[in-house]
Amino acid sequence: MIGSGSFGAHTLALALAALCGLGVGRSAALQAPTQRLQLKIDRATLRVGGTARLTVEFLDGNFQPVANDRDRVVEFAQVPSGPGQSGAVTLSASHVSIPRGARSDTTVTLQAGSPGKLLIRATTSDLAPAQTLVVIALQGSSLINVRPSFWFAAYQQDVTIEINPRGAKGIPANGMSRAQFWVTLNRPLKPGQRRHIIVKSFPGVEVLYHGEKRVGVAQITIVDTTQLSEELDISSTAPGKVQLVAWVAPNGSTDTVEIQFEPPRPARVIFERGQDTIPLHQREVLLTIRLADQDRVAVSQLDRTWRLRLSSPTDPGVTAFDPETLTLSSRPVGRSVLYLKGSPAANDIRLLAMDLDGTLDPGERTITVTGLEPPEYMLILLAGLGGIFGGLARAFYRGQVSRLLPSWSAGYLHLGLLGNAPFSFLFGYVLFQATALGLLVGFERPPAIAGTLAFAFFFGVLGGFGSIAVLDSLLDRIFPGRKTGEYERQRPSGSAGGGPSA
């Protein structure tokens, strides 16, 4: 392991390598880490028996869509949105497996059961959860289906509103985490009807609605046959209680809920954004580790000292960390260098950063290595085929392609092209192994190219090309006069012994 005094030099080298584009995973590193789930529903107001489709998406820390960074299982659950009648649905699946690289999943559907309101929640082990509200109305509850004799009275009776869910607690006051709410009506509107609703926060905090951010206020319009608004997100940078008030403009029904924002506290270890894909020849990766709150947002200030240990459960034999143990206190960020001493067992190297006290959830990161060493039999095969190719190339170069099969002629052994092939295969493999062994002896960490198929084939060709010359010398020693005989056979007729013919 390299000493800590050389950390700055290695960091500079890694930065220069990234600038020069030596890593093939540069495009992968541009994606921010996957940090949270998002759950959408194509129809949030349903009649009993109605169906809707759920969409699971992945977001980064800034709530922007990203690809799933590893294989995950997302679980679904039904949660009451507050006191009162809670609805129920039947899900087509209780969980779904989403592969790495996917941006969304739309395979799960639901069927509305009993009327009421409920939250559908999506969770996975290491991402912030997501939820969406579903309102299930009784069949015929719209004003369209009310009997004509009661239509006028029903029209005069205005709708009432309710904010769901009924409050929120434990939201980190980090300016990023959001409390999610929806404004619901006690019944669906009839076609052409609409209700304008004003929402205010006391004190004024950031309110996000329909893609528009405002401080302390949002304007909502519910139209036609729907019964609830779009999602309303509330965030704050100051701990404390926030009161959220909604009313139907100008002087209609009102409702109030309370949000409790708390100071961000460390809850888990996280790896900051970095290279997710590296080529096989890259042996060093810079790692940045921080502590994050329960919503996976990095904590900027620490009130105590934390000690973290880095490890790789998948490849402990070929990985090393400098330093292996990090101490975070006044500086809430730590850095270490991952060293690869050889090729990993598989394409993915799993890294863990664990709190030595065991009070924080561990951080996890996966680095994909491209161009892994092929199996040994593939190296042997490519080196041997390269040897055969080199032997054929030399035979064509010397014009010795007239004989295909081995033969014995005029007291001399002629191997032919097929006879030379197994020797070319052998010499190609021997030269490849000798070169790889020389690199292993001459370098503390042999270049990764020594284990590639291209390296095996190249030195196999060189070995095969030279094998014919070695065979010629060997056969000349076994069969004295063979070389002389060959020359005698190739001389022009009428000459002998190097002098003029008699």
Q: State residue 233's pLDDT score.
A: 95
d(CA 203, CA 178): 16
Together in a domain, 422 and 385:
yes
Indicate whether 201 pLDDT > 90.
yes
pLDDT(387) > 90: no
Residue with tokens 């015929």: 140
**Mean of pLDDT values over 56-61:** 92
363-370, strands of its sheet edge to edge: 277-279, 363-370, 348-355, 306-311, 325-328
Domain end among 338, 370, 402: 370
- Copy the structure tokens of residue 293: 């709150």
Domain containing 16 equals 4-29+265-370
The yes-or-no verdict on residue 402 having pLDDT over 70 is: no
Same domain, 12 and 108: no
Residue 496 placed within a domain: no
What single-letter amino acid sits at 103? R
Same domain, 297 and 251: no
Mean pLDDT of the chain: 79
226 phi and psi angles, rounded to 5 deg: -80, 165
Is residue 10 pLDDT above 60, yes or no?
no
**What pLDDT was estimated at residue 479?**
61
For 469-497, the pLDDT digits (tens) are 666 666 666 666 555 444 444 444 444 44
Does residue 500 sit within a domain?
Answer: no
Q: Per-residue pLDDT for 6 more than 50? A: no
Region of 267 please: left (phi>0), alpha (psi -120 to 50) or beta. Answer: alpha
Lowest mean pLDDT among 87-101, 259-273, 470-484: 470-484
If pLDDT is split at 50, 70 and 90, which confidence band does 455 have? confident
Residues 98 and 78 in one domain: yes
pLDDT tier at 373, thresholds 50, 70, 90: low
Is the same domain home to 65 and 97? yes
- The verdict on residue 149 lying in a domain is no
The answer as to whether 152 is a domain residue is no
> Does residue 351 share a domain with residue 270?
yes
Average pLDDT on 79-101 reads: 89
Per-residue pLDDT at 219 exceeds 90: yes
**pLDDT, mean of residues 395-410:** 65
Looking at 15-19, 237-241, 343-347, which range is the least confident one?
A: 15-19
Characterize 60-93 residue by residue with b for buried, 16 or more Cβ atoms within 10 angstroms of its Cβ, and e for exposed. bbeeeebebbbebebebebebbeeeebbebeeee
pLDDT the model gives residue 62: 86
Nearest to 289 by CA among 304, 305, 310, 312: 310
Give the three-class secondary structure for 225.
Answer: coil
Residue 187 lies in a domain: yes
pTM over 0.75: no
User: Which pLDDT belongs to residue 474?
Assistant: 67
In whole angstroms, give the CA distance from residue 369 to residue 277: 6
401 and 325 in a single domain? The answer is no
Compute the average pLDDT of residues 452-480: 70
% pLDDT > 90, the chain: 40
pLDDT confidence of residue 403: 66
pLDDT digits (tens, 9 = 90+) for 112-147: 999 989 999 999 988 889 999 999 987 654 433 434
Same domain, 243 and 185: yes
User: Are residues 15 and 38 both part of a single domain?
Assistant: no
As a whole number, mean pLDDT of residues 245-265 equals 93
Residue at which a domain ends, from 343, 370, 397: 370
Beta sheet of 333-340, edge-to-edge order: 268-271, 284-292, 333-340, 319-322
One domain for residues 165 and 256: yes
Looking up residue 121, the CATH number of its domain turns out to be 2.60.40.10
Count: domains in the chain: 4
In the listed set 83, 116, 141, which residue is the last one of a domain according to the structure? 141
Q: Which residue has the higher pLDDT, 462 or 306?
A: 306
Task: Mark whether 187 and 96 lie in a shared domain.
Answer: no
Of 287, 280, 289, the closest CA to residue 341 belongs to 280
* Residue 467 placed within a domain: yes
Distance CA 489, CA 480 (A): 15
Longest dimension (CA), the chain: 139
Domain presence at residue 43: yes
Question: Is residue 482 included in any domain, yes or no?
Answer: yes
In this structure, are 281 and 305 located in the same domain? yes
| CA 301 to chain CA centroid, nearest Å | 28
**pLDDT confidence of residue 15:** 40
Residue 188: its pLDDT value, please? 79
Q: Which pLDDT value is given to residue 25? A: 37
| pLDDT computed for residue 411 by the predictor | 56
